[in-house]
Amino acid sequence: MSTRQRPARTRIRRLAIGRLISITGGAAAYTALNFTVWDRTHSPSMQALSLLLTFGVAGLLGSFAGALGDRFDRRNVMIWSEAISASFFQEEIARSAYEQQRRVEKGDTVIVGVNKHTDESQPLLVPAPDFSALAGEQVKRLRQVRAARDDQRISSVLGTLRGAAHGYVGGVNGAREPLMPILIDAVRARASVGEISGVLSAEWGTYRASAT
């Protein structure tokens, strides 16, 4: 394959993906618009008229639109047609949502539990836990674990982790030892999250966002 064909195929691939996204969004917009017509009119005839305008006009004016696209710059025709279509659908959907909300607020549209047959009781209040007591219990459990574990094994596995983590520091050559098996060994040895993260931060440092 020549080097000239690769950019062309890349552009065609991007165009195909873009058209797929555009067609999917257009189909969703057409469906939303037809539902909007039904919600606003509840008329089968208006629903049929909406479908006729959606698909019938496209069939009738397809040849004219094709000649228009062939006469002018195709890229500009695609951009402007997509922009006009998106603007129209967004405006119609936003207007329908606003009118729906107005009907709900005035009571013309009944939604049980929102503007009709509502429960006047106070919402259930979930008491906040005593975080200081929870922290104390967690510290107590951590001390019990540390008292029952093998400190020599902890020192050994954390040392192994430190050596493996140093291999990931920039500028160090050679094979890098996988960290996950060592982390699993550290957890099985009952090393705490603070101890493990402390070893890693000592080797790799700690990220601090720059003030902007």
Q: Which is nearest to 65 in space by CA: 54, 25, 57, 33?
A: 57
pLDDT for res 14: 74
pLDDT for res 83: 67
Query: Alpha carbon of 130 to those of 133, 135, 140, 141: distances in Å?
Result: 5, 9, 16, 17
| pLDDT confidence band for 152 (50 / 70 / 90) | very high
171/47: higher pLDDT:
47
pLDDT for res 3: 47
Q: What percent of the chain has pLDDT over 70?
A: 68
pLDDT surpassing 50 at residue 2: no
pLDDT surpassing 60 at residue 4: no
